[in-house]
Amino acid sequence: MDDVLTYLHEHYERHLEDLRAFVGIPSVSTEEQRAPDVRRAAEWVAARLGSAGLTDVLVHETPGHPVVTASWTNLPGAPTILIYGHYDVQPPDPLDRWDSPPFEATERDGKLFARGVSDDKAPMLIPIRVIEAFLKVHGALPVNVKLLFEGEEEIGSPHLGAFVRGHAAQLQADFVLSADGGMWRADVPTLTVSARGLTALEFTVRGPGRDLHSGRHGGGLHNPLHVIARMVASLHDPEGRVSVDGFYNDVSPLSPDIRADTAALPFSDETYLREVDAPGTFGEPGYSTLERQWYRPTLELNGLWGGYTGQGVKTVLPSEAHAKITCRLVPGQDPDRVRERIQDHLRLHAPPGVTVTFKGGGHGAPAYRIPPEHVGLRVAREALRSVYGQEPLMVGMGGSIPICDTFREALGMDTVFFSFAVGDENIHAPNEFFRLTRFQEGAQAWSAYFGALARSRDSVATAGG
Amino acid sequence: MDDVLTYLHEHYERHLEDLRAFVGIPSVSTEEQRAPDVRRAAEWVAARLGSAGLTDVLVHETPGHPVVTASWTNLPGAPTILIYGHYDVQPPDPLDRWDSPPFEATERDGKLFARGVSDDKAPMLIPIRVIEAFLKVHGALPVNVKLLFEGEEEIGSPHLGAFVRGHAAQLQADFVLSADGGMWRADVPTLTVSARGLTALEFTVRGPGRDLHSGRHGGGLHNPLHVIARMVASLHDPEGRVSVDGFYNDVSPLSPDIRADTAALPFSDETYLREVDAPGTFGEPGYSTLERQWYRPTLELNGLWGGYTGQGVKTVLPSEAHAKITCRLVPGQDPDRVRERIQDHLRLHAPPGVTVTFKGGGHGAPAYRIPPEHVGLRVAREALRSVYGQEPLMVGMGGSIPICDTFREALGMDTVFFSFAVGDENIHAPNEFFRLTRFQEGAQAWSAYFGALARSRDSVATAGG
């Protein structure tokens, strides 16, 4: 084990160069014109897996972006884990808010800045580093590993389900160990035990068939901007509760344990507001900020637009207005059912002088919760304790990892989150960064994980599958 | 007079080529990067005035875009008119909705399509054609003319007031004859007797100091998109009345004459809705569609935006949301006072968890109404009757021509609208066009106007400013 850590230490600079090269590829999965870059990233990952010593590296075509897989399964009877990560990234907009180019890794104060560096390029490189170290130093790993890296996580993994079902035998393992996810705080080792689900929709309000002069026509017709504002405003009550009929129907109340654990975390609204530079918290009454962000469902506008948005004045009564919505869901809520309820609500709140159309129904995932005594969690706790010298805390996750559901449904496998990103690293925002100390700590922890899991093979045999 | 019409007929094709060249210059006054194009248009206008036979042609610098003037005042004692027009145009967005390039004149079905062709490039070329015809055929005009063409009408003429005040002696005339404006319908000759005023503002709602991940942070903070939707929705009641406190305070009730005249016009909501391709009319209860568009004040959003507006899904809780508003005002309303009332309303409706900032306060003009018996109107009625063989109808104008107020305040002059644009020509929208028959009819009417005005010199001496 010490030899592995020595190897990781000695090869740190080279591995950091790998990371710089990786984040230099603008693999933005949501932008069609970036498809060649996404493919380039897939090929980069495949090459990197090969140089780590893995043999059966494959780049699989899908109807969307490629999936990259590899494996090392030379220990019959030993536990097998499926390591998951994604090589695609969010769009870098708004570009003018970045302090350095988003696709040019820039180091400042021990942090590496680039789009995707925290979500999920550095975290997914860590297990590859560790596998390389084991294979170069010992010629073997202590457990069997399979690896799967997808290029569509940021767009809801539309083709992963079919891929996983189509490769069930090759991917079967005891459980999934996800390099995607994130620690709650840099100074508190945590393990994520739940993730919210997601449903997404986009809608368009159309008034007149073309843009009109607001001087000539204003006052005569519905302005789609007024209509969409009223429709959006109707989605919440003034206190922040979602007003969509039935939205909370299938939501179970928070357990006293969860509420107690959450209250025990070192968190204050004041510090949080300083971190995000916001004047005040807000949301569903009756819950703390963390409870609202981790364990309660939400409905958030992600985009709202129509009319003239350039410099100066344009006196236009626009033909159309648009909005993008995503909801975060908790266990019990069905993504499609929630989306339908919102669509019904919006149709009901549209006045007769406009038409409303919807799109984006394909993008959904139910929430996920892992059994608290799962062996993969237990081993993770042990590995983190060995690196950080303190007991990790259990936390929820506000974001969604739709793949948990995919792996459970397609392969009956649970997912353990073991990522070394931290929640304050501006993911999905300008100036995304990753803490470079974590590039080593993460590698230490993954090494410890492999070792501890090898020692737990009996428990795995019981809990796995 | 017949010689003048013959000249206009014989030179029609050349004049049409002039118009094609003129609309080929993208003189978008609101876009800073177009300033060189706006200047090019000013120089084009100056050259065209020179080739028409006018002598003292000048391009004047202002703190913004240039003003072009010229004159022909060789008839002491004869009436003098100041011809007004503007050579700047609206932005062409959204570009993808144009059937032909906006700055490439394209003829289809007797219409010439291009940005600015109806507002105001073809209408302002018409009096230049007519002056050229008189000067080439007779070596003189029947009345004195001064001409003023500005390049900032589409941004509210911010520097015209100072310019006019600074050149009061040179610009003094009996009244202003505006080549900007428009006929109500292609088949009904009309004269505009009022125009609504304008006030404009833009505001920004800021929540967190940077864009955040909506999964992690959603539910914890005010989403500026939700807040702006609620604020915008609060500006009107559900029936379409403006809810801003005091908005209607200084608005006088519609006179029975105006209501009777408006009701007598050949207008049906059904036909109108077909024209603009909208499912229904909407607006302040108690007024007909035309009354709402011409004689009642309005508050319209012209732009609303925030968050991710690109393709696909981006799970962002945005830092900011923005809205652009313009109001149309009627006589009695003060633009600054109305803008302040709206700002007060918005401040009052902003929750504590966000900040609101405003900009764009400079852009305002009171409404305008011309005395019904004004000699310039009488002559206009006679000229239109001579071309169209029917009595023109008096109409209001929904849009604003801030220059009316400028000329009244700076020079004590009224403004008569005498434009041959038609209200359905997609001004400020994609596929703006001008009816080519009107390029000749307009020239005929301006020729008749000059003649009739020369015959009315006694009335002018009485009514003039």
How far apart are the CA of A126 and the nearest CA of chain B, in angstroms? 23
3-state secondary structure B147-199: EEEECCHHHCCCCHHHHHHHCHHHHCCCEEEECCCCECCCCCCEEEEEECEEE
Q: Which of residues 397-416 of B touch A (CB under 8 A)?
A: 397-400
For residue A276, give the nearest of B217, B277, B427 by CB distance: B217
Q: Within an 8 Å CB–CB cutoff, is residue B353 touching chain A? A: yes
Q: Whose CA is closest to B400, among B200, B251, B201, B197?
A: B197
Q: Which of B33, B302, B395 to mutate to test the interface with A (most CBs of A within 10 A)?
A: B302
Chain A residues closer than 8 Å to B272 by CB: 220
Q: Pick from A211, A321, A323: which is nearest to B429 by CB?
A: A211
Residues B337 and B344: their CA atoms lie apart, in Å, by: 10
Size (chain A), residues: 465
C-alpha A32/C-alpha B312 separation (Å) is 9
> Residues 6 or more apart from B118 whose CB is under 8 A from it?
B182, B421, B422, B425, B426, B427, B432, B433, B434
Which residues from B are below 8 Å from A30, CB to CB?
310-314
- What integer pLDDT is reported at residue B457 of this predicted model? 67
Where helices occur in A335-402 by DSSP H, the ranges are 335-348, 375-388
Cβ within 8 Å of residue B409, ≥6 positions away: B161
pLDDT at A461: 52
Contacts of B236 in chain A (CB under 8 A): 226
Compute the C-alpha angle B254/B361/B297, nearest 5°: 15
Q: What is the pLDDT of residue B401?
A: 73
- With an 8 Å Cβ cutoff, are A215 and B277 in contact? no
- A 10 A CB-CB count for B91 gives 22
Token digits of residue A342: 């919102």
Q: What chain A residue is nearest to B301 in terms of C-alpha separation?
A: A225
Measure the CA–CA gap between B5 and A208, rounded to whole angstroms. 41
- How close, in Å, is residue B372 to chain A by CA atoms? 22
State the CB neighbour count (10 A cutoff) for residue A367. Answer: 25
Measured between beta carbons, the chain B residues lying within 8 angstroms of A314 are 30, 90-91, 93, 302-303, 324, 428
CB A430 within 8 A of CB A92: yes
SS3 A60: strand
Q: B156 and A363 in contact by Cβ < 8 A?
A: no
Q: Using the structure block, give the residue that is written with the tokens 């003319």.
A: B145
A230, closest residue in chain B (CA to CA):
B233
B243 touches chain A (CB under 8 A): no
Angle between helices A122-138 and A35-51 (to 10 degrees): 20
Residues of B in contact with A214 (CB under 8 A): 298, 300, 302, 326, 328, 428
Q: Which residue has the tokens 């390049």?
A: B151
Which letter does DSSP use for residue B431 in this model? T
Predicted local confidence at residue B362, as pLDDT = 67
Beta-bridge partners for A72 = A145
Asked if B314's CB is within 8 angstroms of A30's CB, the reply is: yes
d(CA B186, CA B31) in angstroms, rounded, equals: 32
Interfacial A residues in 7-46 facing B (CB < 8 Å): 30-32
pLDDT of residue B312: 86
- Kindly determine whether residue A211 and residue B293, on different chains, have CB atoms separated by under 8 Å: no
The confidence score (pLDDT) of residue A464 equals: 43
Interface probe with B: pick from A302, A330, A417, most Cβ of B within 10 Å: A302
What is the number of other CB atoms lying within 10 angstroms of the CB of residue B217?
A: 28
Query: In this structure, what DSSP letter does residue A31 have?
Result: -
Tell me whether residue B263 is exposed, middle or buried, using C-beta atoms within 10 angstroms of its C-beta: 0 to 12, 13 to 18, 19 or more: exposed
What span, in angstroms and rounded, lies between the C-alpha atoms of B82 and B143? 11
Tens digit of pLDDT at every position of chain B (465 positions) = 689 999 999 999 999 999 999 999 999 999 999 999 999 999 999 999 999 999 899 999 999 999 999 999 999 999 999 999 999 999 999 899 999 999 999 999 999 999 999 999 999 999 999 999 999 999 999 999 999 999 999 998 899 999 999 999 999 999 999 999 888 888 888 888 888 999 999 999 999 999 999 988 999 999 999 999 999 999 999 999 999 999 999 998 888 878 887 888 889 999 999 989 999 999 999 999 999 999 999 999 999 999 999 988 889 999 999 999 999 999 899 999 999 999 999 999 999 989 999 997 666 888 988 887 899 999 999 999 999 998 888 889 888 777 888 898 899 999 999 999 998 899 989 999 999 999 999 999 999 999 999 998 655 554 443
The residue of chain A with its CA nearest to that of B328 is A215
Strand, helix or coil at A302? strand
pLDDT of residue A120: 97
Evaluate whether B423 touches B433 at the Cβ level (below 8 Å).
no
User: Could A292 and B219 be called an inter-chain contact, meaning their C-beta atoms sit closer than 8 Å?
Assistant: yes
B422 bridge partner residues: B183
The answer to whether A308 faces chain B, any CB pair under 8 Å, is yes
Cβ atoms within 10 Å of B434's Cβ, excluding its own: 29
pLDDT digits (tens, 9 = 90+) for A10-26: 999 999 999 999 999 99
Domains of chain A: 2-195+367-463 (3.40.630.10), 198-262+283-365 (3.30.70.360)
Q: Give pLDDT, residue A207.
A: 96
Within 8 A of A233 by CB-CB distance, chain B residues are 226, 229-230, 232-233
Q: How many beta-carbon pairs under 8 angstroms link A with B?
A: 364
Q: Which residues contact A291 (CB under 8 A, 6 or more apart)?
A: A254, A259, A262
- DSSP H helical segments within B308-402, as ranges? 335-348, 375-388
| Cα–Cα distance for residue pair B448/B130, rounded to 1 Å | 10
3-state secondary structure of A250: coil
- Angle between helical axes of A122-138 and A12-23 (0-180°, round to 10): 140
For the packed helices B35-51 and B122-138, what is the interaxial angle rounded to 10 degrees?
A: 20
Neighbours of B99 (CB within 10 A): 9
B384–chain A Cβ distance below 8 A for any pair: no
What angle (nearest 5°) sits at the alpha carbon of residue B201, between those of residues B196 and B206? Answer: 155
Question: Looking at chain A, which residue has its C-alpha nearest residue B428?
Answer: A213
* CB-CB contact of B449 with B126 (8 Å): no
Pick from B20, B219, B305, B159: which is nearest to A247 by CA?
Answer: B219
Eight-class DSSP state of A391 = P
Asked if B398's CB is within 8 angstroms of A300's CB, the reply is no
Chain A residues with CB-CB distance to B304 below 8 A: 225, 228-229, 304-307, 321
Distance CA B297, CA B339 (A): 13
Instruction: Please list, residue by residue across B180-200, b when 16 or more beta carbons sit within 10 angstroms of its beta carbon and e when fewer do.
Output: bbbbbbeebbbbbbbbbbbbb
Q: Is A270 on the interface with B (CB under 8 A)?
A: no
Are B325 and B300 a contacting pair, CB within 8 Å?
yes
Name the residue type at position B47: A
Which residue has tokens 């610098």? B61
Tokens of residue A100, six digits: 């350095």
Q: What is the pLDDT along chain A (465 residues), one digit of tens a residue?
A: 689 999 999 999 999 999 999 999 999 999 999 999 999 999 999 999 999 999 899 999 999 999 999 999 999 999 999 999 999 999 999 899 999 999 999 999 999 999 999 999 999 999 999 999 999 999 999 999 999 999 999 998 899 999 999 999 999 999 999 999 888 888 888 888 888 999 999 999 999 999 999 988 999 999 999 999 999 999 999 999 999 999 999 998 888 878 888 888 889 999 999 989 999 999 999 999 999 999 999 999 999 999 999 988 889 999 999 999 999 999 899 999 999 999 999 999 999 989 999 997 666 888 988 887 899 999 999 999 999 998 888 889 888 777 888 898 899 999 999 999 998 899 989 999 999 999 999 999 999 999 999 998 655 555 443
Identify the H or E element spanning A411.
Answer: helix A403-411
The radius of gyration of chain A from alpha carbons, rounded to an integer in Å, stands at 23
Give the residue among A283, A225, A243, A224 at the shortest CA–CA distance from B232: A225
Q: Can you give the pLDDT at residue B458?
A: 58
Q: Is B77 an 8 Å CB contact of chain A?
A: no
